[in-house]
């Protein structure tokens, strides 16, 4: 029973077949549960908004302020408002996914194949997020500066052109693999330790995992905001 509880399953998925497309069911299951919890939490907190914040509203306002500061410092005073919901959603999604994956004992729920875990430990999720960031900064640059956005590629000298083009590929790559690698590695380390020594020893690593999870969410949101800020920045 214990070995079953602690068994490692890497790279196995719960496949859903819809027509001829295949989905990783466990990713959607956990993400729906976690996002549902997040939405319930937010609905409860914003149900009765008062000028004198109490309880949940206080926490949500703190969160809002935190996200605003993040967006404002990275994107700049002028357009941070347009991008704050996106940056905040990225932060909340990654944070809730990471922590949800680390805190909830998903392994207790048996699936026919694969296992439940952090949605961000699946490469599809992180690539989806990273590509959204790429699309966003292109859109932000083009909508704010028009064709002048491409001046960015030859700024400060045209020698930068190949590197800047390369960056457009390395940005989503590094974003997605950083998040994916960190969360998967954390799950694997905890899984292996639980498998080897099921008592006490994994606890510090679990705490480290919580720390890493929070940091990764912050890093992802900060970098996304930074890329958008870079795209809308005016060169003089």
Partner 1 sequence: MLAFNFFGATEGGLFDINATLPLMAIQVVALTYILNSLFFKPVGNVVEKREKFVSNNIIEAKNKLSEVKKLEADLLTQLQSARTEAQRIVSEAENESDKLYKEALELANNEANASKEKARLEIESQTSAARDQLSKQADDLSELIVNRLILEK
- For residue 211, give the H/E element and its range: helix 202-232
Q: Among 100, 101, 117, 119, which residue sits at the site for partner 1 (rule: CB under 8 A)? A: 119
Whole-angstrom distance, CA of residue 230 vs CA of residue 54: 37
Instruction: Note whether 8 binds partner 1 by CB under 8 A.
Output: yes
Q: What phi and psi, each to the nearest 5 degrees, are found at residue 95?
A: -65, -50
The answer to whether residue 189 forms part of the interface with partner 1 (CB under 8 A) is no
Residue of 29, 72, 89, 206 interacting with partner 1 (CB under 8 A): 89
Choice from 6, 70, 90, 231 touching partner 1 (CB under 8 A): 90
Out of 5, 36, 37, 39, the only residue in the binding site for partner 1 (CB under 8 A) is 39
Q: 84-88 — which CB contacts under 8 Å span 24+ positions?
A: 86/136, 86/224, 87/221, 87/224, 87/225, 87/228, 88/64, 88/221
Give min distance, CB of 49 to partner 1, in A: 5
| 44 near partner 1 (CB under 8 A) | no
151 touches partner 1 (CB under 8 A): no
Of 121-129, 142-150, 164-172, 212-220: span binding partner 1 (CB under 8 A)? 121-129
């Amino acid at each position: 029973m214990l070995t079953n509880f602690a068994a490692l399953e890497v790279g196995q998925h719960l496949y859903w077949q819809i027509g001829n497309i295949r989905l990783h069911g466990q990713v959607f299951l956990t993400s729906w549960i976690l996002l549902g919890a997040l939405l319930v939490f937010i609905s409860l907190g914003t149900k009765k908004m008062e000028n004198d914040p109490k309880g949940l509203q206080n926490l949500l306002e703190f969160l809002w302020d935190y996200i605003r500061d993040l967006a404002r410092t990275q994107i700049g005073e002028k357009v941070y408002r347009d991008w704050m919901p996106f940056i905040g959603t990225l932060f909340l999604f990654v944070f809730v996914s990471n922590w949800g994956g680390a805190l909830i004992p998903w392994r207790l729920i048996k699936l026919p194949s694969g296992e439940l875990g952090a949605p961000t430990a699946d490469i599809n999720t992180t690539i989806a997020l990273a590509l959204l960031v790429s699309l966003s900064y292109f859109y932000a640059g083009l909508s704010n500066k028009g064709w002048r956005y491409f001046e960015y590629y030859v700024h400060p000298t045209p020698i930068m052109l190949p590197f800047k083009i390369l960056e457009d590929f390395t940005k989503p790559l590094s974003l997605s693999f950083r998040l994916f690698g960190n969360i998967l590695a954390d799950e694997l380390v905890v899984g292996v330790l639980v498998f080897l020594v099921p008592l006490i020893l994994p606890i510090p690593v679990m705490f480290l995992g919580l720390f890493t999870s929070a940091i990764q969410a912050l890093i992802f949101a900060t970098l996304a905001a930074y890329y958008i800020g870079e795209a809308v920045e005016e060169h003089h």
